[in-house]
Structure formats: structure tokens, C-alpha cells
Chain A
Amino acid sequence: MLRVLFFARLREQLGCEALDLKWAPEVNCVAALRAVLAQRGEPWQQALADDNLVAAVNQVVADAATPISSGDEVAFFPPVTGG
């Protein structure tokens, strides 16, 4: 199982704050998970095509090649704007 979280504008665009996905061997990195999510059709495809989105794996900022394995928590969110 994978826990996938979405925040802020992305959460609103998708109408989804959290998903539990069955983990599969081909979902082995951030880029692969993103591609699988984009296949859900609109609004997923367009919202996830945003190059500025940040990914985090187990609450640490990740890049496209960061590995993912079963039990991980993966988050996608827009650039941060705190402070």
C-alpha cells in the first residue's frame, strides 16, 4: 500500500487530499507514481503536468528518481509560501 497526499492548490484542483494506492513493482520511483496518477484522466493529467510541483517521500523532499516502496508516504504539493 502507498499513502499519497496532496496539498494546497493541487489538493483543490484534484478534489482529493489523500489516496491509498495498492503498490505495484512498476511504481518504483516518484516519476512512475506521477505517471500512474496522471492516467486517472482529468483533472489529474493536467494538474500533475505542472513542472513546479514538489514531491516528498516519507516527509523528505524527493526528486523524480527517488525510489518508492510499499508502505511509503508520498506527497505532491506546489512551491511553499510560508513565513
Chain B
Amino acid sequence: MSAGACRVQIGVQEAPLAPEALCKSLPVAGAVVTFIGNVRDFNAAAEVAALQLEYYPGMTQRSLQAIAEEAAARWSLCAAQVVHRVGRIAAGEAIVWVGVCAAHRGDAFAACEFIMDALKTRAPFWKKEYGPAGSTWVESRASDISRAARWRLP
């Protein structure tokens, strides 16, 4: 299946994510892989009550679209959907949702993981953590960069 036959949809929103509704919006397919990223209530030994998610209006959407289209070009998919929240997000709430549909699970698993690894290292979002001790900007992690590097084509 070519990238053209894959339905690519991306979204950036302040409203809470509705994973059940998002799942129902996916087309019927042999394999459906979804991923939900939730805000952890701890990081670097500090308690986290909430995050503030900053983004770059315009570039963030372009970046998510490019990542989803890249997945659709590399694997045989019938849908690739990414929705990311911005603004204030409480611990325990979902921050990102990815849904991938394919005829076979191999393509769906790989594409979903690729999308998350690429998003973590390429999409312009920045997290600020709020806890009892105040607020701090989250540092990028070397482990995210090495995970994303696994997908580099030779």
C-alpha cells in the first residue's frame, strides 16, 4: 500500500484526549496499534503535579504531519493518527495518543513506535514540570535520541 492510500491525521489541542473516541475513529483493519502517553507523577526524584506544554504553532503541526507521512511511506498502513495535548496537563492525564492501522501487526507496531520516537526528538514541544518545589523545564534525554536513531535508514 502506498503512502497515498494511508489516512494521515494529526492534531494539537488543549482539551483532554478522549482515547475511546479516537480509537473508534480509526478505520477497520487487520491490525490496530494504539499508544497513550500519560503524565508521570514523578521525574528525576521530584514529585510532579502537572505539566505545562509549550509548542510552536504551525511548525509543531507541520512536524507531526511530516512524521506521520514518513511512517506511511515506510510501512504499509491504512491509517496513522497523532494527537498531542498542549497547555496545562495534570499528572495521570494523557498527553499524547497515536493510532496506527495496517493489514498486518508488524507494520502497525513498527510504525507506532517510530512515530513516538520521532515525535520525542523532532516535534517542537517543551515540558515544564510543576511540583511542590516550584517549576522546572524538562531536559531532553540521551535515551530518546538513541531510540530515535535506531530508525535511521542506511
Contact = CB atoms under 8 A, between A and B. Distances in A.
26 contacts: A7-B56, A7-B124, A7-B126, A8-B54, A8-B126, A8-B137, A9-B126, A9-B137, A56-B59, A56-B124, A59-B56, A59-B62, A61-B122, A75-B56, A77-B56, A78-B140, A79-B140, A80-B122, A80-B124, A80-B140, A81-B127, A81-B140, A82-B84, A82-B123, A83-B37, A83-B96
Contacts of B137: 8-9, 78, 81
A77 B116 contact: no
Contact of B54 (A7, A60, A75, A79): A7
B75 interface: no
B95 interface: yes
B120 A82 contact: yes
Which residue of A9, A59, A81 has the most chain B CB atoms within 10 A of its CB atom?
A81
A80 B119 CA distance: 9
A5 interface: yes
Interface in B124-141: 124-128, 137-140
Contacts of B138: 81
Contacts, number: 68
A82 to B, nearest CB: 3
Contacts of B128: 8
B154 interface: no
Given A7-B54, A8-B54, A9-B137, A81 B125 contact: yes
Interface residues of A, number: 17
Given A56-B59, A59-B62, A80 B121 contact: yes
Interface in A37-83: 52, 56, 59-61, 75, 77-83
Nearest to A61: B122
Given A9-B137, A83-B96, A83-B120, A78 B126 contact: yes
Contacts of B56: 5, 7, 56, 59, 75, 77
Nearest to B145: A79
A26 B96 CA distance: 42
A37 B62 CA distance: 27
